[in-house]
Amino acid sequence: MIRYPNGKTFQPNKTVSSQNSQKRTHSYSNRGMTLEDDLNETNKYYLANQIAVIHKKPTPVQIVNVHYPKRSAAVIKEAYFKQSSTTDYNGIYKGRYIDFEAKETKNKTAFPLQNFHDHQIEHMKQVVRQDGICFVIISAFGKVYFLEADKLFVFWERKENNGRKSIRKDELEDASFPISLGYSPRIDYISIIEQLYFSQEQ
Amino acid sequence: MIRYPNGKTFQPNKTVSSQNSQKRTHSYSNRGMTLEDDLNETNKYYLANQIAVIHKKPTPVQIVNVHYPKRSAAVIKEAYFKQSSTTDYNGIYKGRYIDFEAKETKNKTAFPLQNFHDHQIEHMKQVVRQDGICFVIISAFGKVYFLEADKLFVFWERKENNGRKSIRKDELEDASFPISLGYSPRIDYISIIEQLYFSQEQ
């Protein structure tokens, strides 16, 4: 069975529940939501509160065949998933360009680098060269981590030089910042950006 | 017949010609290329020369039905075009967030504002509030214009207040900057951004 790049099979018309008003626990284990759902809710919160404008890019699709029925909407009858040449999320916070990718793993001991492909790493390097704020959000080991692109590149180079093909749990803990999880916003990654790039103490 | 938001019907697998090595004329009339083709080539040039990292977002598609054949790629069997909630292009230049929409008209006397929808204008206002560099590239009257979002909003407000539903040619000429057209880059909009936002003389 062919799957999405994130390993999930396709589920049509998934609706994000906004009914749940209970305080959420601070663990990512055994929850019904995906990282993507939570990031979408987080970005909606940032947008509604004029904190930041960050959107997930649409899934790239190669369209091959479209029907144009009379008096109703065009129907795409044949199309294929394409590999993206960029990361999934980008936007703006306080004038600065923000660019990131989000990844999940169920692996208990390490984060596999095969979650990224060459094009994404190359894109992140281009963004860093243009002085963008570039990072990855990793959901692993029941937590959510903010890993700056420069740190990711070090692990990527090790892999390219025939080293480990993953980031060990303790390495990730050392290299990254934990993102606090809450109800609203759910994954407050902007607070990390504020501390790292905008705080007077830096 | 249902068409793309830009009024064109769908054409599968269109290939951008890169064979044409002739110097291009500086008129947009009677050419085989679309504005989108030229902007894609321009963005490739900026990327290859490490000038800027700007990408067109994928066309948003609502996927309804996917087949997973054995030993071959997943096939999307039913999907629909969705209206985008943002502009088509964004990225980074010298650390600043860049966001724009590109529009063409064949109208000889005015640029119709129905080329934009409310969501796009709202998105542009959010970007401007976050101090992003936001504008539209308009191909009209045989030229290509760079119109800052703030200027567009003035014409949009006039329409909302039951005024003209278009920008007259002379109004557009006054409010915008002409973009010089060339072979490589084809539509050098970054040079306008450089003058407007990065020049020492401002």
Q: What is the ipTM of this complex?
A: 0.81
B27 vs A159 pLDDT, higher one: A159
How many Å lie between the alpha carbon of A201 and the closest alpha carbon of chain B? 21
Nearest-by-Cβ selection for B58 from A61, A65, A123: A61
Q: What is the pLDDT of residues A152-161, one digit of tens each?
A: 999 999 999 9
Distance (Å, rounded) from C-alpha B91 to C-alpha A127? 9
Expressed as residue numbers, the domain containing A148 is 35-47+85-199
Higher pLDDT, B33 or B32: B33
- Tell me, yes or no, if B16 comes closer than 8 A to chain A by beta carbon: no
**In chain A, what residues touch B131 (CB-CB under 8 Å)?**
92, 94-95
Instruction: Say what the pLDDT of residue B85 is.
Output: 87
CB B193 within 8 A of CB B93: yes
Indicate yes or no: CB of B127 within 8 angstroms of CB of A92.
yes
Say what percent of chain B tops pLDDT 90. 75
- Would the CB atoms of B80 and A76 count as touching at under 8 Å? yes
Does B61 sit within 8 Å of A63, measured CB to CB? yes
Among residues of chain A, what percentage have pLDDT more than 90?
75
Is residue B93 within 8 Å of residue B190, measured between CB atoms? yes
Mean pLDDT for chain B overall:
86
Which one has a higher pLDDT value, B153 or B84? B153
Per the model's pLDDT, the better-predicted residue between B191 and B199 turns out to be B191
Q: Does A55 touch chain B (CB under 8 A)?
A: yes
What would the two tokens of residue A106 be?
């169920």
In one letter, which amino acid is B179? I
In a domain, A67, yes or no: no
Question: What's the pLDDT tens digit per position in A110-146?
Answer: 999 999 999 999 999 999 999 999 999 999 999 999 9
Give the number of beta-carbon pairs within 8 Å between A and B. Answer: 148
pLDDT, one tens digit per residue, over B145-162 is 999 999 999 999 999 999
- Which helix (H) or strand (E) element contains residue B178? strand B177-178
User: Residue A107: inside a domain, yes or no?
Assistant: yes
Q: Return the pLDDT at A96.
A: 95
How far is it, in rounded angstroms, from Cα A107 to Cα A175? Answer: 18
Mean of all residue pLDDT scores within chain A = 86
Which among A75, A76, A88 is the top mutation candidate for probing chain B, defined by the most B β-carbons within 10 Å of its own β-carbon?
A: A76
State the alpha helices, DSSP H only, in A59-168. Answer: 118-129, 149-160
Is B2's pLDDT higher than 50? no
B181 Cβ contact partners less than 8 Å away, ≥ 6 residues apart: B24, B26, B28, B144, B187, B188
Task: Express each pLDDT in A23-66 by its tens digit.
Answer: 444 455 545 578 999 999 999 999 999 999 999 999 999 999 99
Number of domains forming the structure of chain B: 1
| CB-based burial label for B23 (10 Å; 0-12, 13-18, 19+) | exposed
What does the pLDDT average to over B10-37?
Answer: 52
Is a pLDDT exceeding 70 seen at residue B188? yes
Residue B49 zone, left/alpha/beta (φ > 0; ψ -120 to 50; rest): alpha
The average pLDDT across B18-26 equals 41
Residue B148 lies in a domain: yes
Asked whether residue B102 is domain-assigned, the answer is yes
B33-67: b (≥16 Cβ within 10 Å) or e:
ebbbbbbbbbbbbbbeeebbbbbebbbbbebeebe
Instruction: Give me the residue label for tokens 């969501």.
Output: B119
Identity of the residue in A9, A13, A53 whose CB atom sits nearest the CB atom of B126: A53
Asked whether the beta carbons of A102 and A57 are under 8 A apart, the reply is no
Kindly state whether residue A155 falls inside one of the protein's structural domains: yes
Nearest Cα of chain B lies from the Cα of A73 at a distance, in angstroms, of 6
Question: Which among B49, B50, B125 has a CA at the least distance from the CA of B87?
Answer: B125
Does residue B28 form part of some domain? no
Burial class (CB in 10 A: 0-12, 13-18, 19+), A77: middle
Say how far apart CA B49 and CA B46 lie, in whole Å: 5
Burial B119-141 (b: 16+ CB within 10 A, else e): ebbebbbbbbebebbbbbbbbbb
Distances (CA, A) of A7 to A102, A104, A162, A168, B85: 13, 10, 25, 21, 27
Whether the per-residue pLDDT at A14 is higher than 70: the answer is: no
Q: pTM for the whole thing?
A: 0.82
| Amino acid at residue number A157 | E
What's at B146, amino acid-wise?
F
Across-strand partners of B144? Answer: B139
Which amino acid does the sequence have at A47?
Answer: L
pLDDT score of B201? 53
Mean pLDDT of B77-99: 94
Q: Which two tokens stand for residue B30?
A: 């009677």
Can you give the pLDDT at residue A18? 39
B76 → closest Cβ in A3, A79, A93: A79
Q: Which residues contact B87 (CB under 8 A, 6 or more apart)?
A: B99, B100, B101, B120, B123, B124, B134
Determine contact: B55 vs chain A, CB below 8 A: yes
- pLDDT number for residue A26: 45
Contact A72 B123 (CB under 8 A): no
- CB atoms B73 and A81 under 8 Å: yes
Distance from CA of B168 to the nearest CA of A (A): 32
State the pLDDT at residue A32.
Answer: 57
Question: Cβ distance A177 to A190 under 8 Å?
Answer: no
- Return the pLDDT at A85: 87
From CA B143, how far away is CA A142, in angstroms rounded? 55
Measured distance between the N- and C-terminal CA atoms of chain A, rounded to whole angstroms: 49
Tell me the one-letter amino acid at B91: G
Query: In this predicted model, which residue has the larger pLDDT, A4 or B39?
Result: B39
pLDDT digits (tens, 9 = 90+) for B50-62: 999 999 999 999 9
The mean per-residue pLDDT over the stretch B104-130 comes to: 95
| B62: in domain | no
Check residue A72 and give its pLDDT: 86
Residue B5 lies in a domain: no
* Chain A residues 95-134 with CB within 8 Å of chain B: 95-99, 123, 126-127, 129-132
* CA dist., res. B147 & res. B150, Å (int): 8
Query: Which tokens hold the place of A128?
Result: 């860093």
How far does B66 lie from chain A, in Å, by closest CA? 7
User: Looking at residue A177, which CATH number applies to its domain?
Assistant: 3.40.1350.10
